[in-house]
Amino acid sequence: MPCLTRRTLIEATAGIAVAALAPRIVLAQTAPPPAGPFRQDPLPYAPNALEPSIDARTMEIHYGKHHAAYVANLNAVAKDNPQIAQMPVEQVLAKLGELPDAIRTNVRNNLGGHANHTMFWQVMGPPGHRPEAEVAAAIERDLGGLEKFQADFDAAGLRVFGSGWVFVTVTRDGKLAIETRPNQDSPLMDGKRALFGNDVWEHAYYLQYQNRRADYLKAWWNVVNWPKVAERYTAAKAGTLGI
Ligand code: MN
Protein backbone atom coordinates (compact mmCIF):
# COMPACT_ATOMS: atom_id res chain seq x y z
CA MET A 1 0.00 0.00 0.00
CA PRO A 2 1.44 3.42 -0.88
CA CYS A 3 2.49 5.58 2.05
CA LEU A 4 0.17 8.58 2.11
CA THR A 5 1.55 11.14 4.54
CA ARG A 6 -0.41 14.11 5.77
CA ARG A 7 1.77 16.39 3.63
CA THR A 8 1.17 14.51 0.37
CA LEU A 9 -2.51 14.31 1.21
CA ILE A 10 -2.66 18.10 1.56
CA GLU A 11 -0.72 18.56 -1.67
CA ALA A 12 -2.93 16.11 -3.50
CA THR A 13 -6.07 17.80 -2.23
CA ALA A 14 -4.70 21.23 -3.15
CA GLY A 15 -3.83 19.88 -6.58
CA ILE A 16 -7.38 18.75 -7.14
CA ALA A 17 -8.68 22.16 -6.09
CA VAL A 18 -6.27 23.97 -8.42
CA ALA A 19 -7.05 21.62 -11.29
CA ALA A 20 -10.76 22.25 -10.83
CA LEU A 21 -10.23 26.02 -11.01
CA ALA A 22 -7.63 26.06 -13.81
CA PRO A 23 -8.83 27.12 -17.24
CA ARG A 24 -9.21 24.04 -19.42
CA ILE A 25 -7.52 25.66 -22.40
CA VAL A 26 -4.13 24.95 -20.75
CA LEU A 27 -4.55 21.28 -21.66
CA ALA A 28 -4.60 22.06 -25.37
CA GLN A 29 -1.10 23.55 -25.26
CA THR A 30 0.57 20.65 -23.54
CA ALA A 31 -0.33 17.71 -25.80
CA PRO A 32 2.85 15.68 -26.42
CA PRO A 33 4.03 15.24 -30.03
CA PRO A 34 2.82 11.98 -31.57
CA ALA A 35 5.21 9.07 -31.17
CA GLY A 36 6.92 7.98 -34.34
CA PRO A 37 9.80 8.62 -36.70
CA PHE A 38 8.33 11.64 -38.51
CA ARG A 39 8.68 15.13 -37.05
CA GLN A 40 7.93 18.68 -38.15
CA ASP A 41 10.92 21.00 -38.30
CA PRO A 42 10.32 23.99 -36.03
CA LEU A 43 8.75 26.93 -37.85
CA PRO A 44 11.83 29.11 -38.55
CA TYR A 45 10.05 32.37 -37.63
CA ALA A 46 7.15 33.54 -35.48
CA PRO A 47 3.66 32.84 -36.82
CA ASN A 48 3.07 36.58 -37.24
CA ALA A 49 6.37 37.18 -39.08
CA LEU A 50 4.72 37.00 -42.49
CA GLU A 51 2.02 39.59 -41.77
CA PRO A 52 0.39 41.37 -43.49
CA SER A 53 0.81 38.96 -46.43
CA ILE A 54 -0.14 35.87 -44.37
CA ASP A 55 -1.84 36.33 -41.01
CA ALA A 56 -0.64 34.65 -37.81
CA ARG A 57 -3.84 32.65 -37.27
CA THR A 58 -3.55 31.08 -40.73
CA MET A 59 0.07 30.18 -40.01
CA GLU A 60 -0.79 28.68 -36.61
CA ILE A 61 -3.53 26.49 -38.03
CA HIS A 62 -1.65 25.62 -41.20
CA TYR A 63 1.56 24.59 -39.41
CA GLY A 64 0.05 23.39 -36.13
CA LYS A 65 -3.01 21.55 -37.45
CA HIS A 66 -2.80 20.77 -41.16
CA HIS A 67 0.89 19.92 -41.44
CA ALA A 68 0.83 18.31 -38.01
CA ALA A 69 -2.02 16.05 -39.13
CA TYR A 70 -0.01 14.79 -42.11
CA VAL A 71 2.85 13.95 -39.75
CA ALA A 72 0.54 12.21 -37.25
CA ASN A 73 -0.99 10.17 -40.07
CA LEU A 74 2.47 9.16 -41.29
CA ASN A 75 3.50 8.05 -37.83
CA ALA A 76 0.36 5.94 -37.62
CA VAL A 77 1.21 4.26 -40.94
CA ALA A 78 4.85 3.81 -39.89
CA LYS A 79 3.83 1.69 -36.89
CA ASP A 80 3.13 -1.27 -39.16
CA ASN A 81 5.19 -0.11 -42.13
CA PRO A 82 8.51 1.08 -40.73
CA GLN A 83 10.09 0.97 -44.20
CA ILE A 84 8.50 4.33 -45.06
CA ALA A 85 10.79 6.00 -42.54
CA GLN A 86 13.94 4.08 -43.41
CA MET A 87 14.81 6.00 -46.56
CA PRO A 88 15.02 9.76 -47.23
CA VAL A 89 11.57 11.21 -47.91
CA GLU A 90 12.43 12.08 -51.52
CA GLN A 91 13.40 8.46 -52.20
CA VAL A 92 10.16 7.07 -50.77
CA LEU A 93 8.14 9.54 -52.85
CA ALA A 94 10.05 8.62 -56.00
CA LYS A 95 9.20 4.95 -55.44
CA LEU A 96 5.55 5.03 -54.36
CA GLY A 97 4.86 2.24 -56.87
CA GLU A 98 6.92 -0.15 -54.77
CA LEU A 99 4.77 0.30 -51.66
CA PRO A 100 1.98 -2.13 -50.72
CA ASP A 101 -1.35 -1.18 -52.31
CA ALA A 102 -2.95 -0.82 -48.87
CA ILE A 103 -0.78 2.15 -47.86
CA ARG A 104 0.22 3.71 -51.19
CA THR A 105 -2.47 6.42 -51.33
CA ASN A 106 -2.07 7.21 -47.66
CA VAL A 107 1.70 7.67 -48.05
CA ARG A 108 1.27 9.62 -51.27
CA ASN A 109 -1.06 12.11 -49.56
CA ASN A 110 0.60 12.39 -46.17
CA LEU A 111 4.27 12.08 -47.07
CA GLY A 112 3.67 14.31 -50.08
CA GLY A 113 2.01 16.80 -47.72
CA HIS A 114 4.86 16.53 -45.22
CA ALA A 115 7.48 17.13 -47.92
CA ASN A 116 5.58 20.01 -49.51
CA HIS A 117 5.01 21.81 -46.21
CA THR A 118 8.56 21.24 -44.97
CA MET A 119 9.77 22.99 -48.13
CA PHE A 120 7.06 25.67 -47.89
CA TRP A 121 7.97 26.92 -44.37
CA GLN A 122 11.62 27.10 -45.39
CA VAL A 123 11.16 29.19 -48.51
CA MET A 124 9.16 31.87 -46.74
CA GLY A 125 10.31 34.49 -44.27
CA PRO A 126 9.94 38.12 -43.26
CA PRO A 127 9.73 40.49 -46.25
CA GLY A 128 12.69 42.40 -47.64
CA HIS A 129 14.53 40.28 -50.19
CA ARG A 130 14.97 40.11 -53.94
CA PRO A 131 16.18 37.15 -56.02
CA GLU A 132 19.92 36.74 -55.65
CA ALA A 133 22.26 36.94 -58.66
CA GLU A 134 22.40 33.34 -59.86
CA VAL A 135 18.69 32.64 -59.35
CA ALA A 136 17.79 35.98 -60.96
CA ALA A 137 19.90 35.02 -64.00
CA ALA A 138 18.20 31.61 -64.23
CA ILE A 139 14.77 33.26 -64.02
CA GLU A 140 15.80 35.63 -66.80
CA ARG A 141 17.13 32.80 -68.96
CA ASP A 142 14.43 30.15 -68.42
CA LEU A 143 11.30 32.03 -67.37
CA GLY A 144 11.42 35.34 -69.23
CA GLY A 145 12.47 37.62 -66.38
CA LEU A 146 11.06 38.22 -62.91
CA GLU A 147 7.91 40.07 -63.91
CA LYS A 148 6.82 37.56 -66.55
CA PHE A 149 7.78 34.65 -64.29
CA GLN A 150 5.70 35.91 -61.38
CA ALA A 151 2.69 36.55 -63.64
CA ASP A 152 2.99 33.06 -65.18
CA PHE A 153 3.48 31.40 -61.77
CA ASP A 154 0.41 33.16 -60.36
CA ALA A 155 -1.65 32.26 -63.43
CA ALA A 156 -0.62 28.61 -63.06
CA GLY A 157 -1.53 28.71 -59.36
CA LEU A 158 -4.89 30.21 -60.20
CA ARG A 159 -5.60 27.43 -62.73
CA VAL A 160 -5.12 24.65 -60.17
CA PHE A 161 -8.65 23.32 -59.80
CA GLY A 162 -9.48 22.57 -56.19
CA SER A 163 -6.45 21.90 -54.00
CA GLY A 164 -2.85 21.72 -55.06
CA TRP A 165 0.49 23.43 -55.48
CA VAL A 166 2.42 25.53 -57.94
CA PHE A 167 6.16 24.89 -58.05
CA VAL A 168 9.34 26.01 -59.71
CA THR A 169 11.23 22.83 -60.51
CA VAL A 170 14.98 22.79 -60.97
CA THR A 171 17.13 20.29 -62.85
CA ARG A 172 20.62 19.22 -61.89
CA ASP A 173 22.01 21.67 -64.47
CA GLY A 174 20.01 24.52 -62.97
CA LYS A 175 17.18 24.83 -65.48
CA LEU A 176 13.92 26.16 -64.07
CA ALA A 177 10.29 25.42 -64.99
CA ILE A 178 6.84 26.22 -63.58
CA GLU A 179 4.81 23.09 -62.77
CA THR A 180 1.60 22.43 -60.85
CA ARG A 181 0.42 19.36 -58.97
CA PRO A 182 -2.99 18.40 -57.55
CA ASN A 183 -3.62 17.56 -53.89
CA GLN A 184 -0.35 16.89 -52.01
CA ASP A 185 1.51 15.53 -55.01
CA SER A 186 5.08 16.71 -55.44
CA PRO A 187 7.63 16.87 -58.26
CA LEU A 188 9.64 14.53 -56.01
CA MET A 189 7.18 11.80 -57.08
CA ASP A 190 8.55 12.18 -60.62
CA GLY A 191 12.16 12.16 -59.46
CA LYS A 192 12.34 15.94 -59.87
CA ARG A 193 13.30 18.66 -57.41
CA ALA A 194 11.25 21.68 -56.31
CA LEU A 195 13.27 24.85 -55.95
CA PHE A 196 10.28 26.37 -54.19
CA GLY A 197 6.52 26.38 -54.38
CA ASN A 198 3.31 27.92 -53.15
CA ASP A 199 0.42 26.12 -51.46
CA VAL A 200 -2.89 26.96 -53.13
CA TRP A 201 -5.10 24.82 -50.90
CA GLU A 202 -7.82 27.01 -49.44
CA HIS A 203 -6.46 26.28 -45.96
CA ALA A 204 -3.38 28.33 -46.92
CA TYR A 205 -5.32 31.55 -47.41
CA TYR A 206 -9.06 31.30 -46.75
CA LEU A 207 -9.20 33.00 -43.33
CA GLN A 208 -7.62 36.15 -44.70
CA TYR A 209 -8.41 36.11 -48.41
CA GLN A 210 -11.58 33.94 -48.58
CA ASN A 211 -12.09 33.12 -52.28
CA ARG A 212 -9.49 35.63 -53.52
CA ARG A 213 -6.70 33.21 -54.42
CA ALA A 214 -5.25 35.71 -56.91
CA ASP A 215 -4.71 38.27 -54.13
CA TYR A 216 -3.02 35.64 -51.97
CA LEU A 217 -0.73 34.57 -54.82
CA LYS A 218 0.28 38.18 -55.44
CA ALA A 219 0.89 38.97 -51.75
CA TRP A 220 2.90 35.76 -51.27
CA TRP A 221 5.83 37.16 -53.24
CA ASN A 222 6.45 39.59 -50.37
CA VAL A 223 7.40 36.71 -48.09
CA VAL A 224 9.53 34.56 -50.38
CA ASN A 225 12.85 33.90 -48.67
CA TRP A 226 15.11 34.50 -51.66
CA PRO A 227 18.36 33.83 -49.76
CA LYS A 228 16.97 30.36 -48.89
CA VAL A 229 15.92 29.86 -52.52
CA ALA A 230 19.51 30.68 -53.55
CA GLU A 231 20.81 28.04 -51.10
CA ARG A 232 18.40 25.49 -52.53
CA TYR A 233 19.48 26.37 -56.07
CA THR A 234 23.12 25.75 -55.18
CA ALA A 235 22.16 22.45 -53.53
CA ALA A 236 20.11 21.39 -56.58
CA LYS A 237 23.11 21.90 -58.85
CA ALA A 238 25.33 20.00 -56.42
CA GLY A 239 22.82 17.11 -56.37
CA THR A 240 22.23 17.51 -52.64
CA LEU A 241 18.75 19.07 -52.64
CA GLY A 242 16.23 16.77 -50.95
CA ILE A 243 12.73 17.89 -50.03
MN1 MN B 1 -1.07 23.40 -46.80
Q: pLDDT tens digit string along 39-64?
A: 999 999 999 999 999 999 999 999 99
Closest C-alpha to 75, from 45, 39, 101, 102: 39
108-125, pLDDT tens digit by residue? 999 999 999 999 999 999
Q: What is the pLDDT of residue 141?
A: 98
What contacts 180, CB < 8 A, 6 or more positions away? 156, 157, 159, 160, 164, 165, 166, 167
**Contact between 36 and 110 (Cβ < 8 Å):** no
Determine the distance separating the centroid of ligand 1 and the alpha carbon of 12, expressed in angstroms: 44
**Contact between 180 and 152 (Cβ < 8 Å):** no
Query: 19 or 173: which carries more pLDDT confidence?
Result: 173
Q: Is the pLDDT of residue 19 over 90?
A: no
Determine the distance separating the centroid of ligand 1 and the alpha carbon of 4, expressed in angstroms: 51
Q: Is the pLDDT of residue 5 over 90?
A: no
Q: How confident is the model at residue 32 (pLDDT cuts 50, 70, 90)?
A: low
C-alpha span between 145 and 110 (Å, rounded) = 34
Determine the distance separating the centroid of ligand 1 and the alpha carbon of 6, expressed in angstroms: 53
Write down the mean pLDDT value for the chain: 90
For the whole prediction, is pTM greater than 0.95? no
Q: Mean pLDDT across the stretch 134-152?
A: 98
Residue 238 belongs to what H/E stretch? helix 226-238
**Contact between 79 and 36 (Cβ < 8 Å):** yes
Q: Is the pLDDT of residue 196 over 70?
A: yes
Determine the distance separating the centroid of ligand 1 and the alpha carbon of 205, expressed in angstroms: 9
Q: How confident is the model at residue 15 (pLDDT cuts 50, 70, 90)?
A: very low
Determine the distance separating the centroid of ligand 1 and the alpha carbon of 62, expressed in angstroms: 6
Please state the separation of Cα 175 from the chain's center in Å.
24
Determine the distance separating the centroid of ligand 1 and the alpha carbon of 117, expressed in angstroms: 6
C-alpha span between 229 and 124 (Å, rounded) = 9
Q: How confident is the model at residue 34 (pLDDT cuts 50, 70, 90)?
A: low
Q: Mean pLDDT across the stretch 97-109?
A: 98
Select, from the ranges 11-20, 34-43, 223-232, the one with the highest average predicted confidence (pLDDT).
223-232
What contacts 79, CB < 8 A, 6 or more positions away? 36
- Classify the C-alpha dihedral 115-117-122-123 as positive or negative: positive
Residue 111 belongs to what H/E stretch? helix 101-122
